[in-house]
Amino acid sequence: MTTSAAAVEGALAEVLDPEYPVSLVDMGLVRGVEVVDGTARVTLSYCSLGCPCIQLIEQDVRERLTQMEGIDRVELVESYDHWTRERISPRGLVQLRTAGVG
């Protein structure tokens, strides 16, 4: 079975940022998704270079994606493209405000 990049991104929308009740997708941390021969290649950025949650995020991404049928391997690529608040989706902004952040 072939899994699409859109399906992988949908699964990543279920992975929450460890510090906030918002998905990695809505936080704007997922910069790209490719799927080739059972390998999901996910490009991620972080809110800061010294983000204390990098290992947790990477573990959660790997754990979620390896549960998907058609994904045998997960490759994570760190993007050094600067993250800003503007990358948060409108839904993510509402979720942050609901949680008392932002």
101 is a domain residue: no
pLDDT of residue 51: 82
Give the range among 20-24, 73-77, 98-102 with minimum mean pLDDT: 98-102
92 is a domain residue: no
pLDDT of residue 72: 95
Domains identified in the chain, total number: 1
Domain at 16, CATH number = 3.30.300.130
Using 50, 70 and 90 to split pLDDT, how confident is the model at 102?
Answer: low
Q: List, for residues 35-94, the tens digit of each pLDDT value.
A: 999 999 999 999 887 888 899 999 999 999 999 999 999 999 999 888 889 999 999 999
Distance of CA 59 to the CA centre of its chain: 11
Using 50, 70 and 90 to split pLDDT, how confident is the model at 11?
Answer: very high
Buried/exposed code over 54-85 (b: 16+ C-beta within 10 A; e: otherwise): beebbebbbebbeebeebeebeeeeeeeebee
Domain that residue 79 falls in: 5-84
pLDDT of residue 48: 81
DSSP class of 28: T
DSSP class of 86: G
Is the confidence at residue 8, as pLDDT, over 70? yes
pLDDT of residue 47: 86
